[in-house]
A and B are shown apart, each in its own frame.
Chain A
Amino acid sequence: MSEPRLTIGLAGNPNCGKTTLFNALTGSHQHVGNWPGVTVEKKMGHARHGELELDVVDLPGTYSLTAYSEEEKAARRFLIEDRPAAVVDVLNADALERNLYLAVQIMELGVPVVLALNMMDEVRKRGKDIDTGLLTRLTGCPAVETVARQGKGRREILEAAVNLASERAGAWIPLRISYGPDLDPVLDEMEAIVEANGIMAGKVPPRWVGLKYLEGDPGIMRRGREASDQAGEKLEKLTAKVAAHLKKTLGTTPDAIIADYRYGYIAGIARQVVRYPAVDQERLRLSDHMDRVLTHQLAGPLVMALVIYLLYILTFAVGKVPMEAVQAAFAWLGKTLEAAMPEGQLRSLLVSGVIAGVGGVLGFVPLIMIMFFLLSALEDTGYVARMAYMLDRVFRIFGLHGTSVLPFIVSGGIAGGCAVPGVMATRALRSPKEKLATLLTAPFMTCGAKVPVFLMLAAAFFPGKEAAVMSAVTLAAWVAALCVAKLLRSTVVKGESTPFVMELPPYRMPTLRGLCIHTWERSWEYMRKAGTIILAISVLIWAAMTFPQLPQERAAAFDQRAEAAQAQVEEAKAQGLESAALEDAVKAAEAAKSEEALRNSFAGRAGVALEGLTAPAGFNWRVNIALLGGFAAKEVIVSTLGTAYSLGEVDTKDAAPLSEMLARDESFPRAAGIALIAFVILYAPCSVTIVAMAKEAGWRWALFSMGFNTALAYVAAVVIFQAARLLA
Chain B
Amino acid sequence: MDSCLTLRRAQVNRKLRICSIGAQGELGRRIRDMGLIPGAEVTVVGKAPLKDPVALRLRDFTLTLRNSEADHIVVEEAE
Give me the interface of A with B, judged by CB distance under 8 Å: 63-64, 66, 68, 92, 94-98, 101, 253, 255-256, 259-260, 263, 288, 291-292, 295-298, 300-301, 385, 388-390, 392-394, 396, 499-506
Contact = CB atoms under 8 A, between A and B. Distances in A.
Given A253-B24, A297-B49, A499-B66, 14 more contacts: A68-B26, A68-B30, A97-B60, A101-B35, A263-B32, A389-B53, A393-B50, A393-B52, A499-B31, A500-B53, A500-B69, A503-B62, A504-B62, A504-B64
Contact of B63 (A253, A388, A502): A502
A255 B28 contact: yes
B55 A499 contact: no
A94 B61 contact: yes
**Nearest 4 A/B pairs, CB to CB:** A95-B60, A259-B32, A393-B50, A63-B33
A295 B61 contact: no
Contact of B61 (A68, A98, A101, A300): A98
Contacts of B69: 499-501
Given A97-B35, A288-B45, A301-B49, A501 B60 contact: no
A714 B46 CA distance: 46
Contacts, number: 114
27 contacts: A63-B34, A64-B29, A95-B60, A97-B35, A98-B35, A253-B28, A288-B45, A291-B55, A291-B62, A297-B49, A300-B48, A300-B49, A385-B64, A390-B48, A390-B49, A392-B48, A392-B64, A500-B53, A501-B33, A501-B64, A501-B69, A502-B64, A503-B34, A503-B61, A504-B61, A504-B62, A504-B63
Nearest to B46: A295
A255 B64 contact: no
A309 to B, nearest CB: 18
Interface in B58-79: 58-66, 69
A390 B51 CA distance: 9
Majority DSSP secondary structure for residues of A touching B: helix
Given A97-B60, A98-B61, A502-B63, A392 B53 contact: yes
Nearest to A301: B49
Contacts of A388: 64
A633 B61 CA distance: 46
B27 A499 contact: yes
A256 B26 contact: no
Given A63-B33, A64-B33, A499-B30, A260 B38 contact: yes
B45 A98 contact: no
Nearest to B51: A393
B21 interface: yes
A658 to B, nearest CB: 45
Residue from A256, A394, A505 whose CB has the most chain B CB atoms within 10 Å: A256
B37 interface: yes
